[in-house]
């Protein structure tokens, strides 16, 4: 599994061999082979429980690689922590947006400063791309609409200047018009050179902007191809959409 994203420095893997921390590992993914080139949107499709979210977790450093390789910018990063990967541009927006409802829009954006980007720069970029957030900057995030919350999640992610963006079920809970608008933004981000891996149950929401797509079932990618090729399989493979 690899993400060809940039030539930025990637930290060495952290030591995770403390025998007191060993726990039984359940293998969920089997032979997953993915490449996410710069400027591309790769859609990972399939039903709930297929392994899509776990795949994103491995790419972001939240789950360990038990076999094979995870590469970022051509360098193996097996064992590198999620915090270290975040500092070199790997950013994940998990299912449900994960905004902090009891914090303001501005305070949510401040959380992205942990990777070293100043708050002023994050706010400038966020409000330029999503002007409505500028008008809502002092509003509690929990009172925003679903679409605005998704904008906030994207804005916070972009504040970290990602080279690899991992998106999990962006369409969840959004009206069809808002889904289209959010994915238009994703397409624009890819055009700017960001590598984007999208996990999505509802295939037809993301296929129009994808450069390639894969169908994931039972922890395996059973089909990989162009969006048109994958869409042709929707009638024979269980997918939302």
Residue 216: inside a domain? yes
Domain count across the chain: 2
Q: What is the pLDDT along the chain (241 residues), one digit of tens a residue?
A: 555 443 444 444 444 434 344 445 567 888 898 999 999 999 999 988 899 999 999 999 999 888 889 988 888 899 999 989 988 889 999 887 679 999 999 999 999 898 788 999 999 999 999 999 999 999 999 999 988 999 999 999 888 889 999 999 988 888 888 889 889 999 999 999 999 999 998 888 999 999 999 999 999 999 999 999 999 887 666 545 4
Beta pairing class for 212-217 and 220-225: antiparallel
How is 49-86 classified by DSSP, letter by letter?
TSSHHHHHHHHTTSS---SS--EETTEE-TT--HHHHH
Q: Give the pLDDT confidence score for residue 48 in this predicted structure.
A: 87
Q: What is the pLDDT of residues 126-150, one digit of tens each?
A: 999 999 999 999 999 999 998 899 9
Q: Give the pLDDT confidence score for residue 7 in this predicted structure.
A: 42
Same domain, 75 and 176: yes
**Residue 112: C-alpha distances to residues 4, 126, 135, 153 (Å):** 23, 11, 19, 10
Residue 7: inside a domain? no
Cα-to-chain-centroid distance, residue 127: 21
Phi–psi pair at 129, nearest 5 degrees:
-80, -35
Q: What is the pLDDT of residues 209-231, one digit of tens each?
A: 999 999 999 999 999 999 999 99
Residue 185: inside a domain? yes
Same domain, 55 and 138: no
What CATH number should be reported for the domain holding residue 51? 3.40.50.300
Residue 6: inside a domain? no
């Amino acid at each position: 599994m690899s993400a060809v994203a940039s030539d930025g420095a990637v930290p060495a893997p952290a030591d995770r061999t403390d025998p007191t921390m060993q726990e039984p590992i359940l293998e969920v993914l089997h032979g997953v082979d993915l490449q996410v080139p710069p400027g591309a949107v790769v859609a990972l499709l399939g039903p709930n429980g297929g392994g899509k979210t776990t795949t994103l977790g491995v790419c972001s450093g939240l789950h360990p690689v038990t076999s094979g390789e995870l590469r970022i910018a051509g360098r193996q990063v097996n064992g590198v922590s999620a915090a270290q990967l975040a500092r070199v541009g790997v950013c994940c927006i998990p299912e449900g947006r994960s905004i902090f409802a009891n914090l303001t829009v501005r305070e949510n954006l401040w959380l992205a400063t942990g990777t070293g980007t100043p708050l002023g720069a994050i706010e400038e970029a966020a409000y330029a791309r999503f002007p409505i957030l500028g008008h809502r900057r002092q509003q509690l995030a929990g009172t925003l609409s679903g679409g605005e919350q998704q904008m906030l999640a994207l804005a916070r992610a972009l504040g970290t200047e990602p080279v690899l963006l991992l998106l999990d079920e962006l369409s969840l809970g959004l009206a069809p018009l808002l889904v289209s608008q959010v994915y238009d933004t994703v397409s624009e981000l890819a055009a700017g050179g960001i590598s984007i891996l999208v996990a999505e149950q509802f295939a037809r929401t993301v296929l129009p902007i994808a450069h390639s797509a894969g169908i994931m079932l039972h922890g395996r990618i059973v089909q990989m191809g162009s969006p048109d090729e994958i869409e042709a399989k929707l009638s024979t493979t269980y997918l939302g959409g």
